Structure 1
């Protein structure tokens, strides 16, 4: 969740206090999806897993439960400040740039990244390195957003509060694109995994609407980027305050961009 896109840096900086709130909301929204796929490909006792761009601790800890004391989980990120507390036992935490550094050694039964590659400038190289780190029979599971596929924060744009929310979300997409994010990346994952030489490729997509965690995520995200929205002329402080009040009041049916999950196996 935290690999950097360009020299300008990742838009949602892990150094900000809101990052921890975002990681918690993302875990609530998407961990059930992630672990449905992890369990579906048969990750279990004694296996080795590489969690790429871990961000928070929820996925490394969930993987550690599945592989048990005879397994191993390597959790990597450019910024490990939110992950280091999970280190110990079967979990190793390593500072690492997936597009620039050699993969951790040893080979893996599962390599997983969620909401990472969309932000990485050389995402094709990152994917190649991830696929190359698999053991024969190992699985690559990549989950990434596709904001262009479903761009609205409020799909039911029923009034001025919803229109304001969607305009601020459009501003967020503008900032992401300016940092090198590919806003249509999610839909390309099945093809990318096949081109990486993987077999048995499958994919699905999920996006929640009206989860309480969507409101938590939106509040933290807007607070992280409000200065950039204002500086870029994409919103005023008054509009942002009004939107945050609308979110807090629970009057908006908030959604996320679709999370596309794609998985394939090294033959």
Structure 2
């Protein structure tokens, strides 16, 4: 799967690092709260699927200690170099066999919505778990909240929302499921998991939301122009509006977290 055919936000682009940092600031507290509640601790064997950046596998490695194991996989592992206590492997969850079995935890954040072979990927994650092991999936649901600016109060917000609609159209054109997050509890039950639960987290403003938007727009600028979503001048105007503080309240999609045990 080449970057032109698959994931829209290529990890090899320079803006990916900024995006990973912003995503970590936005969502790590919620992710760690869920994993902590499940009791992740010394000796656990964990698989972080589609790790992208370092924050989650590093947290897991600290929690499980030298007696545990953390495997971090991605189709592009270039941002995972130098992680201590983590086994980093290049891996496509939609087509490759799981990198381990008998695991206590499998976690994936913002992964499955971008994987065309979602059913195979989900089955692979479940197969990697020991009896009683936990699967924790986190995915956005842009269909639940499609706006970058929920308070569309002026032309700056209108432009921002038009660009966001174009971005999501590009995602949908690459088989991303924009209503995937809400399906996670049902999918876990369909896999035979028990003690299934779910909640949602929805940042609506803050520096990390702004940094994420700027990095994302810069990363897909050419695709927005080529796709007729906006002109280069309109993209410059949007970025200038952000820099000048004219669109301070930039939101993310709701992040749905679902969990269940084998």
- Tell me the TM-score normalized by structure 1: 0.95
Q: Any gaps of 5 or more consecutive residues in structure 1?
A: none
Partner of 1:39: 36
Provide Cα deviations, 1:86-144, integer angstroms capped at 9, x if missing partner: 1x4x3100000111111012421110000000000011110111011111111000000
- Residue 5 and residue 180 in structure 1: after superposition, are their counterparts in 2 closer, same or farther (change >3 A)? farther
Instruction: Give the Cα–Cα distance (whole angstroms) in 1 for the partners of residues 177 and 235 of structure 2.
Output: 25
1:149 and 2:147 aligned: no
Instruction: Give the Cα–Cα distance (whole angstroms) in 2 for the partners of residues 76 and 250 of structure 1.
Output: 38
Instruction: Give the alignment's Cα RMSD to 1 decimal.
Output: 1.2
Instruction: Give the Cα–Cα distance (whole angstroms) in 2 for the partners of residues 11 and 254 of structure 1.
Output: 21
SS class of match (1:201): strand
Counterpart pick for 1:58 among 55, 71, 79 = 55
Partner of 1:195: 190
Partner of 2:17: 20
Partner of 2:114: 119
Aligned length: 261
Counterpart pick for 2:67 among 59, 70, 73 = 70
Q: Displacement of 1:6 after TM fit?
A: 8.4
Instruction: Give the Cα–Cα distance (whole angstroms) in 2 for the partners of residues 39 and 222 of structure 1.
Output: 33
Instruction: Give the Cα–Cα distance (whole angstroms) in 2 for the partners of residues 106 and 182 of structure 1.
Output: 28
Runs of 4+ in 1 over 2 A off after TM superposition: 4-7
Provide Cα deviations, 1:147-178, integer angstroms capped at 9, x if missing partner: 01100000000000000000000000000001
SS class of match (1:84): coil
Decide whether the 8 Å contact of 1:149 with 1:257 is kept in 2: yes
Q: Any gaps of 5 or more consecutive residues in structure 2?
A: none
Counterpart pick for 1:261 among 246, 257, 261 = 257
Instruction: Give the Cα–Cα distance (whole angstroms) in 2 for the partners of residues 165 and 85 of structure 1.
Output: 37
Decide whether the 8 Å contact of 1:208 with 1:255 is kept in 2: yes
Instruction: Give the Cα–Cα distance (whole angstroms) in 1 for the partners of residues 69 and 156 of structure 2.
Output: 47
Decide whether the 8 Å contact of 1:18 with 1:220 is kept in 2: yes
- 1:225-244 residue pairs with structure 2 within 5 A? 225-244=220-239
Q: Displacement of 1:85 after TM fit?
A: 2.1
